[in-house]
A and B are shown apart, each in its own frame.
Chain A
Amino acid sequence: MAEEILLEVQDLTHLFPLTKRAVVRAVDGVSFQVRRGEIFGLVGESGSGKSTVARCVMNLYRPRGGRILYKGIDVCDPAAFRANRRMLQRTRQMIFQDSGSSLNQRMRVWEIIAEPLRIQRIAPPRGSLREEAAFQMHYVGLDAGYLDRYPPELSGGQRQRVAIARALAMEPELLVADEPIASLDVSIQAQIVNLFKHLQQEHGFSFLFIAHDLAMVEFLCDRVGVMYRGRLVEAGPAAEVFAHPGHPYTRALLSSIPIPDPRRERARRPEIFSGEALGGRLAETGPGHYVLREEG
Chain B
Amino acid sequence: MSGQFEMVGIRPLPPAEPARPAPWYRGKPVLSAGILALLVLGCLVFRLAPVRDPAYMDLTRCSAAPCGEFLFGTDAMGRDVFSMIWYGGGLSLFIGAAATALSTLIAVVFGALSGCAPAWLDGVLMRLTEILLSVPSLLVVVLLQAALGEANVLSISLVIGLTSWTSMAKIVRTEVRQLRGSEYVLASRCMGGSFFHILRRHLAPNFFSSIMFMAVMNIRSAIVAESTLSFMGIGLPLEVITWGSMLSLSEQALLTGAWWIILIPGGFLVTTLLCVTNLAGALRGSGGRGQSNL
Query: Are any A and B Cβ atoms less than 8 Å apart in their complex?
Result: yes
B190 at the interface (CB under 8 A from A): yes
> Are A191 and B9 in touch, CB under 8 angstroms?
yes
> Are A115 and B182 in touch, CB under 8 angstroms?
no
Indicate whether A101 sits within 8 Å of B182 (C-beta atoms), given known contacts A194-B8, A195-B8, A198-B8. Answer: yes
A98 at the interface (CB under 8 A from B): yes
Q: What would 30 A/B residue contacts be, using CB atoms closer than 8 Å?
A: A55-B186, A89-B191, A90-B192, A94-B190, A101-B182, A101-B184, A102-B184, A102-B186, A102-B187, A104-B184, A104-B201, A115-B188, A115-B201, A116-B191, A116-B192, A119-B191, A119-B194, A135-B2, A139-B5, A141-B10, A143-B12, A143-B13, A143-B15, A145-B15, A146-B15, A163-B187, A166-B187, A190-B9, A194-B8, A194-B9
> Are A141 and B9 in touch, CB under 8 angstroms?
yes
> Are A89 and B2 in touch, CB under 8 angstroms?
no
> Chain A residues near B191 (CB, 8 Å)?
89, 93, 115-116, 119-120, 170
Indicate whether A191 sits within 8 Å of B10 (C-beta atoms), given known contacts A115-B191, A119-B193, A138-B2. Answer: yes
A71 at the interface (CB under 8 A from B): no
A98 to B181 alpha-carbon distance, docked (Å): 13
6 additional contacts, CB 8 Å, given A96-B183, A102-B183, A170-B191? Answer: A60-B186, A94-B190, A115-B191, A119-B192, A143-B12, A161-B10
> Are B186 and A202 in touch, CB under 8 angstroms?
no
Chain A interface main SS type: helix
A residues 206-225 touching B (CB-CB < 8 Å): none
Count CB-based A-B contacts (< 8 Å). 85
Indicate whether A101 sits within 8 Å of B183 (C-beta atoms), given known contacts A145-B14, A198-B8. Answer: yes
A269 at the interface (CB under 8 A from B): no
Chain B: how many interface residues by the 8 Å CB criterion? 27
B residues 173-190 touching A (CB-CB < 8 Å): 182-184, 186-190
A202 to B13 alpha-carbon distance, docked (Å): 24
Q: How far is the CB of B288 from the nearest CB of chain A, in Å?
A: 11
Q: How far is the CB of A92 from the nearest CB of chain B, in Å?
A: 7
Tier of interface size on chain A: 35 or more
B197 at the interface (CB under 8 A from A): yes
List of 9 A-B pairs having minimum Cβ-Cβ separation, nearest first: A145-B15, A89-B192, A191-B9, A102-B183, A116-B191, A141-B10, A104-B184, A141-B7, A101-B183
> Chain A residues near B182 (CB, 8 Å)?
101
B118 at the interface (CB under 8 A from A): no
> Are A60 and B189 in touch, CB under 8 angstroms?
yes
B252 at the interface (CB under 8 A from A): no
| Of A90, A106, A119, the contact of B206 (CB 8 Å cutoff) | A106
Q: How far is the CB of B168 from the nearest CB of chain A, in Å?
A: 21
Contact with B along A8-31 (1 / 0, CB 8 A): 000000000000000000000000
Look across to chain B and name the residue whose beta carbon is closest to the beta carbon of A197.
B8
Contact with B along A134-157 (1 / 0, CB 8 A): 010011011101100000000001
A283 at the interface (CB under 8 A from B): no
> Chain B residues near A161 (CB, 8 Å)?
10
> Chain B residues near A102 (CB, 8 Å)?
183-184, 186-187
> Chain A residues near B13 (CB, 8 Å)?
143, 145
B202 at the interface (CB under 8 A from A): yes
Q: How far is the CB of A107 from the nearest CB of chain B, in Å?
A: 7
